[in-house]
Amino acid sequence: MVGMVVRASCSIMAALLSALTSVAHAGDQKVVVAYGCSDLVVIGRLKTTGGDLLHDQSSAEPRELVYAHYGTLRIERIIRGRSKSHRVAVTYSSDPDIRSDRFRYVLEPAGEGYIVRNLTVPPFRMRPLAKRCEPSLDEASTTKAHAQAAK
């Protein structure tokens, strides 16, 4: 009887270890970050200066609230694109504020500033940039969608 319990326990442990190993390997896969041809890709630090609630509190769970934040991004390094200044105005949507840590940002041009299209936390090699820009992302840009909706 004891031998059957030990064998069953070993089988369960082997199955669990196998499942955990496959999950660990799946998590190690690199996800390529796409960017538009007119986007600016930088490494920098964001200082949030304000924000507005996008959803009415009565219609959403507190943890599902999404805010439109705005702030200033201090560019430490430009990876793709060009910027006249090392401090640019940005807006982004999220539930919490973005920490002021060093991140990689994909920024979509929008008027006098930018919209954060993507944010990547270090290590950046786990989410490398695509080798080429995606023209289709420029066509589907947020600012063009807003301009077409206003017509």
Do the domain assignments include residue 28? no
Do the domain assignments include residue 35? no
Number of domains in the chain: 1
- Burial, 40: exposed, middle or buried (Cβ in 10 Å; 0-12, 13-18, 19+)? buried
Do the domain assignments include residue 56? yes
Do the domain assignments include residue 29? no
Do the domain assignments include residue 95? yes
> Nearest Cα to 50, choosing from 74, 73, 65, 68?
68
Mean pLDDT for 52-73 is 69
CATH number at residue 59: 2.40.50
Do the domain assignments include residue 11? no
pLDDT tens for each residue of 13-60: 333 333 333 333 345 567 899 999 999 999 999 988 888 776 655 555
Full domain range(s) for residue 129: 40-150
